[in-house]
Amino acid sequence: MSRNDAAPGTVTAPPGRIRRMLSHLYVQCLVAVLLGAAVGVLWPSVGADLKPLGDGFIALVKMFIAPIIFCTVVHGIASMGNARAVGRVGLKALVYFEVLTGVAMVIGLVVVNVVKPGSGLHVDVSTLSPKGLPPAATAAHQGFADFVLGIVPATLFSALTGHEVLPVLLVSLLFGFGLHASGEAGLGIVQGVEKLSTVLFTLIRWVMRLAPVGAFGSMAYTIGNFGLGTLRQLSLLVGSFWLAALFFVLVVLGTVMRLNGLRLLPFLRYTKEELLIVLGTSSTEPVLPRMMAKLQHLGASKPVVGITLPAGYSFNLDGTAIYLTMGSVFLAQALGIDLSLPQQLAMLAVMLITSKGAAGVTGTGFIALAATLSALPHVPVAALSLIFGIDRFMSEARALTSLIGNGVATLAIARWEGELDEDRAKAVLRGEIPYTPVPVTTEPDTQRTPEPEGLPAPARDLLPTAG
């Protein structure tokens, strides 16, 4: 029977339409996540062995993050007319981060005390053992002074070869201010940094084509290694955590967007590809370059994006903040430890410090929780073994919440600084301004397609095609 002779009532999707749908990265990532989950359920051992796919993709993207942050921040600062504005942006960002982190922790504290997911478990402390926990969870954790000193790299270039965001940001700020103060003497370097940024964004756009592979491997590993049975055993904690994260995103971040003249749901649709990549990989690092490009396309200035978004990866982990309060109180409930309100508030104060400095990599929330417990006398670190098996199922919510929170923070800081084109932002979120990139070409500039007004070339080259 030919396609035209299909039975009456049969609905068939045109092959061309299916191909167009599959050309979108978010559709590819969604399919990859579903396939990965299916492999993890049907063939657990195979799924557990696919972990290198996710780890390899994240590692491939991470090697571009430091130079991209460096180029973006340096060029943004060196091109600014008023260098004092950079310090003002940084101060506003830090104040915003502390306030929103505190709000997230309070929400987690309220939810875990109302739902009480750990009550009734009656776990005997003597039966707990740290054996099997990651070495980083049981290692000695650095104090606040060590954290601050750790921001300063050993050399000017070692920051670009390390794995921390804050040293890169420090070196970028200093180098950018140096070029700004040099005037014409540094003009050639500024132009070179801008051209290098274009190359880096082109390379990362190619690498992001492997995002479905990374999402497939990570999801297959999660389900295959930990299993759905582990999730069912502690489903109340996982469910209440996702609920708290959803409340924070829709209510708190939604209110922040409203106060700045924008709406949250169109922003979530605009960043749906990044959200699906994060859902699959449980890490926000792979989408940092893409988020920087999309926020610039949305109308936020390059310096504000370059400073606020990378800093948010270390100082504005809203999802981790909710996880820390809920995880700590849950373990206390499971062990039958009654934490008074003053004790919980003291714990929250400690968490405002221990939650800082962790980049958006899978597992850093669990390590931050270990650092919190080691700094408090109430709950033993060995209790982490109770939630180690389900931590991965909460990692996705942590990463998604933190990514959305940092995107909203960048837009809010940009608007407060007068560095956000609100009309453009609203038009982009309504879908009125397309963001199809100009194809990479070796032809002279005079032969290239004109650039859309106000959109940096690196940002355009990174944004997805229209299929």
Residues in the chain: 467
Contact call for residues 186 and 3 (beta carbons, < 8 A): no
Report the pLDDT averaged over residues 132-157.
Answer: 62
Contact call for residues 312 and 93 (beta carbons, < 8 A): yes
Whole-number pLDDT of residue 258: 94
Whole-number pLDDT of residue 438: 38
Where are the domains positioned within the chain? 24-434+451-462
Distances (CA, A) of 195 to 68, 159, 177, 192, 199: 12, 21, 19, 5, 7
Fold classification of 24-434+451-462 is Proton glutamate symport protein (1.10.3860)
Q: pLDDT digits over 97-120, tens only?
A: 889 988 999 999 999 889 888 776
Confidence band for 248, pLDDT divided at 50, 70 and 90: very high
Whole-number pLDDT of residue 278: 86
Report the pLDDT averaged over residues 273-277.
Answer: 88
Residue 379 scores a pLDDT above 80 = no
The two structure tokens encoding residue 356: 């800082």
Contact call for residues 224 and 47 (beta carbons, < 8 A): yes
Residue 452 scores a pLDDT above 80 = no
Burial zone of 409 (CB within 10 Å; 0-12 exposed, 13-18 middle, 19+ buried): buried
Confidence band for 406, pLDDT divided at 50, 70 and 90: very high
The two structure tokens encoding residue 172: 């970028």
Percent of the chain beyond pLDDT 90? 15
Q: Percentage helix, strand, coil, to 5, in the chain? A: 75, 0, 25
DSSP H helix total and E strand total for the chain = 22, 0
Q: pLDDT digits over 173-185, tens only?
A: 788 878 877 777 7
Confidence band for 453, pLDDT divided at 50, 70 and 90: very low
> Each residue of 276-303: b (16+ CB within 10 Å) or e?
bbbbbbbbbbbbbbbbbbbbbbbbbbbb
Name which of 173, 178, 417, 214 is nearest 310 in CA terms: 173
Residue 144 scores a pLDDT above 70 = no
Whole-number pLDDT of residue 83: 61
Q: How far apart are CA 29 and CA 5, in angstroms?
A: 34
Q: pTM of the predicted model, to two decimals?
A: 0.72
Name which of 380, 385, 374, 369 is nearest 336 in CA terms: 380
Name which of 69, 96, 82, 81 is nearest 415 in CA terms: 96
Kindly state the helix (H) or strand (E) to which residue 67 belongs, with its residue range: helix 51-78
Q: pLDDT digits over 88-100, tens only?
A: 887 888 889 889 9
Name which of 241, 386, 234 is nearest 324 in CA terms: 241
Q: pLDDT digits over 332-361, tens only?
A: 888 887 878 887 887 777 777 666 644 444
Of 25 and 426, the one with more pLDDT:
426
Report the pLDDT averaged over residues 59-87.
Answer: 74
